[in-house]
Amino acid sequence: MSVLKLENVKKYYGVKNNITKAVDGISFQVDEGEFVAIMGASGSGKTTLLNCISTIDNVTSGHIYVGREDITEIKEDDMADFRRENLGFIFQDFNLLDTLSIEENISLSLIINHTDVNEMDKRVLDIASKLGISDVLKKFPYEVSGGQKQRCACARALITHPKLILADEPTGALDSKSSRMLLETMRDMNEHLGATILMVTHDTFSASFCKRVLFLKDGKIFNEILRGDKSRKEFFDEIIDVLTLLGGDTENVR
């Protein structure tokens, strides 16, 4: 069953003679339990696409379905409820609230949902132990490392059991060790907790953790590859090959 379905989505910027086609007619779908990466050079429209899916930005035309609901048609007032119930977010710069402890950051959406306090504690502890951040729960974001912050963001995204988790360059601000740990966490989230994840990245290493990779170029889907039974190393090499074909920046070829 598809969790996310895009139909000919377009997003144009600018006026009259100076139009930027950031997203130019993209259609694809993500099924339940998938872990999908979207890759592309800078300026290929990855982030814009993700912003559209996450209801942060409006589309110019086309439809985006999350579950059965068309999010391009949802009214502004109902948007908050929809986001809260269906989507989880992980950002490059964490977007944790400085004023709340790690524990409170994780439980924030539950608080908003008026979940029972005992139930809430149980869920927070549960998810924290799964993500390995139980010992920093009482600390504040500025007191923990980048990797821990990002795992906190993951926990926050996971705790409401959203239909879809959207991640925008989640390893962007992390060192390689933390990146690896985070990606492994995300893979576990996908495999063991059944989370459906859509991740935007320009990092081949990150993408190689996914089950499927979509390549964007100039706002259009250029290619799509599946991991299947391949090892992560083989998948990594395959991604590199596509990126070479993509002819984007050489920085993508390591």
Partner 1 sequence: MLGKLAVRNVKRSAKDYVIYFITVVLAFSFLFAFNLLGSSSEVLELSDVMNNFAIVMHVVNIFILFVVCFLINYTIKFMFSKRSLEFGTYLLLGIKKKQISNLFTLENVLLGLLTLPLAIFVGYILSLLMSFIITGLFELESIVHITFSIEAVLLLFVYFAFIYVFVLFLARRRIRKVKIYDLLYLEKKNEEKQFRKNKVRNVSFFVSLGLGILAMALFFQEFHRLGVDPSMATVLFCIVLIIFSIYGVVITLADFLLKVVLKNKKLKYQKDYLFLARTFSSKVKTMSFTLGTISVLITFTLIALNLSSLFKAMFDYQLELSAPYDISVTEIDENEIPLYLDFIKEHYTIEEEFVYHGYTESNRNVSKVLGELGGWREYDQVVKLSDYNKLLELKGDKPLQLEQDEYLIHATREFEDILTNTSSIQEIILPNDEVLKLKDVVTDGYTYAWGTGYGFLLVVPDDAVEGLAVESTNLIVDTKEETTEEFAKVFERLLVPDICEEEDDGYTVCYSLANVTVRGNVEATNNGFITIVSFVCFYIAFIFISVVGTILAIQGLSDSSKYKYRYQVLSKLGVKESELDKTIFRQLFVFFLFPVIYPIIISFFTVFSLNHLFQFVLTTDTVYILYYFINLFVFLLIYIIYFLTTYFGFKRNIGDSQGGGFFAR
The residues binding partner 1 (CB under 8 A) are 51, 54-58, 76-77, 80-85, 89, 95, 97-100, 108-109, 111-113, 156
Residues 6+ away with beta carbon under 8 Å from 92 = 168, 169, 170, 172, 173
**Residue 19 CB: number of other CB atoms within 10 A?**
11
Question: Closer CB to partner 1, residue 99 or residue 250?
Answer: 99
Question: Closer CB to partner 1, residue 35 or residue 94?
Answer: 94
Find the shortest distance in angstroms from Cβ 99 to partner 1. Answer: 4
180 in Cβ contact with 236 (< 8 Å): no
Asked whether the CA dihedral 157, 161, 167, 172 is positive or negative, the reply is: positive
Find the shortest distance in angstroms from Cβ 108 to partner 1. Answer: 6
Find the shortest distance in angstroms from Cβ 89 to partner 1. Answer: 5
- 3-class DSSP state of 170: coil
Question: Closer CB to partner 1, residue 83 or residue 123?
Answer: 83
Find the shortest distance in angstroms from Cβ 57 to partner 1. Answer: 5
Place of tokens 């402890």: 101
CA distance 122 to 52: 33
Question: Closer CB to partner 1, residue 105 or residue 208?
Answer: 105
